[in-house]
């Protein structure tokens, strides 16, 4: 298990530089997106990437479209404080118990962001040709207008936003070990995606820490690692 030393927490770039200023809002209106840049050094990020590749219970994602179950090339995993159900793309997943490393990363992200989370959706993109289409994280299982923390490992990839009404676009390049926060009414007004690219040949892992709120604790069994 990787040990996080207090002296290493947090490490992000000079807040005077706008591209790494956690106070800077990358959206021009109708939402809030803050990019912290890398919150850990490259060696630590590489160690976590390897552990996540080896220890996460990865499975190919599925989407139910026009009654047909389609399997994606990318892989996913869903973890949480309890056996939360999470439904998107007309498919439902049940949360697995946290691994020790995921709990470390959750604590790290909560310390840096000042937010609290009880679940995490992980995505594994093997190469640049694998991406994610335009969507918003506004499923009814999630806390309305709750913060979503996106932690990236591996290949640097472009992450894009598009306003639902005006179609204005914003994009950032997310480095390994970097943290991006989506807050407030962002999901109501903006779509986001990970565009495919032929220029990237290394894998990327993305962790999105979330807050499940819609489900009653009754009937949802607590789980432990």
pLDDT at site 214: 57
pLDDT at site 190: 98
Q: Tens digit of pLDDT for each residue in 64-98?
A: 566 677 777 899 999 999 999 988 877 788 999 99
Q: Is the pTM of this model over 0.95?
A: no
pLDDT at site 139: 83
For the chain, what are the domain ranges? 32-210
On the question of pLDDT at 144 being above 50, the answer is yes
CATH superfamily of 32-210: Alpha-ketoglutarate-dependent dioxygenase AlkB-like (2.60.120.590)
Number of residues assigned to the chain: 225
HEC secondary structure over the chain: CCCCCHHHCCCCCCCCCHHHCCCCCCCCCCCEEEEEEECCCHHHHHHHHHHHHHHCCCEEEEEEECCEEEEEEEEEEEEECECCEEEECCEEEECEECCHHHHHHHHHHHHHHCCCCCEEEEEEECCCCCCEEEECCCCCCECCCCCEEEEEEECCEEEEEEECCCCCEEEEEECCCEEEEEECCHHHHEEEEECCCCCCCCCEEEEEEECECCCCCCCCCECCC
């Amino acid at each position: 298990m990787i040990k996080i030393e207090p002296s290493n927490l947090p490490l992000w770039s000079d807040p005077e530089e706008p591209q790494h200023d956690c106070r800077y809002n990358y959206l021009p209106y109708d939402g809030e997106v803050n990019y912290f840049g890398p919150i850990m050094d490259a060696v630590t990020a590489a160690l976590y990437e390897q552990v996540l590749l080896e220890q996460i219970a990865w499975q190919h994602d599925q989407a139910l479209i026009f009654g047909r179950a389609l399997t994606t090339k990318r892989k996913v995993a869903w973890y949480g404080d309890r056996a939360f159900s999470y439904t998107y793309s007309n498919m439902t997943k049940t949360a697995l118990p946290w691994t020790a490393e995921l709990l470390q990363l959750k604590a790290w992200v909560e310390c840096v962001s000042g937010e609290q989370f009880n679940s995490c959706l992980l995505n594994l993109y093997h190469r640049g040709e694998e991406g994610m289409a335009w969507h918003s994280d506004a499923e009814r299982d999630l806390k309305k207008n709750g913060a979503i923390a996106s932690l990236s490992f591996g290949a640097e990839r472009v992450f894009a936003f598009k306003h639902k009404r005006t179609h204005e676009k914003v994009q950032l390049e997310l480095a390994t070990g970097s943290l991006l926060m989506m807050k407030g009414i962002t999901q109501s007004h903006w779509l986001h995606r990970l565009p495919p690219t032929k220029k990237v040949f290394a894998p990327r892992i993305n962790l999105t820490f979330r807050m499940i709120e819609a489900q009653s604790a009754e009937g949802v069994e607590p789980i432990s690692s």
